[in-house]
């Protein structure tokens, strides 16, 4: 949680998060992600929707712009690609923020 809170001051422009079981139980993680306002991708190695019903809900997914599940460790590669695309088209990176 501390790393999420420190992300902006450390210069992070994106977060890739695999919170494991905390995804399904931690409102604190949700609030931390919302608070830092940094584009976030949630990653799960397994397909959480094919598992126990309590895993079908994710608090962290609601704070992320994308969720990836079921691709195994390739999910991290997909998350990096998606996050890079999101950052490249964000108003802050293109200079459009000042015009908004």
Token couple for 94 = 């293109």
Give the per-residue pLDDT at 54: 77
- The residue behind tokens 């919302």 is 34
Residue pLDDT, tens place only, 10-35: 999 999 999 999 999 999 999 999 99
> In CATH terms, is domain 2-99 a member of 1.10.10.10?
no
Name the strands in the sheet holding 66-69, side by side, starting at the edge strand that comes first in the sequence. 15-17, 40-44, 66-69
Predicted TM-score (pTM) of the model is 0.82
Q: How far is the first Cα of the chain from the last one, in angstroms, to the nearest whole number?
A: 32
User: Which ranges of the chain have pLDDT less than 50?
Assistant: 94-100
Give the per-residue pLDDT at 98: 38
Give the per-residue pLDDT at 55: 82
């Amino acid at each position: 949680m501390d790393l999420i809170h420190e992300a902006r001051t450390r210069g992070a422009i994106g977060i890739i998060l695999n919170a494991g079981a905390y995804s399904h139980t931690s409102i604190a993680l949700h609030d931390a992600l919302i608070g830092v306002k940094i584009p976030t991708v949630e990653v799960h190695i397994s397909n959480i929707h094919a598992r126990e019903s309590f895993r079908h809900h994710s608090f962290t997914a609601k704070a992320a712009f994308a969720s990836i599940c079921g691709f195994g460790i390739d999910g991290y590669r997909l998350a990096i690609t998606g996050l890079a695309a999101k950052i490249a088209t964000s108003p802050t990176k293109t200079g459009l923020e000042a015009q908004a």
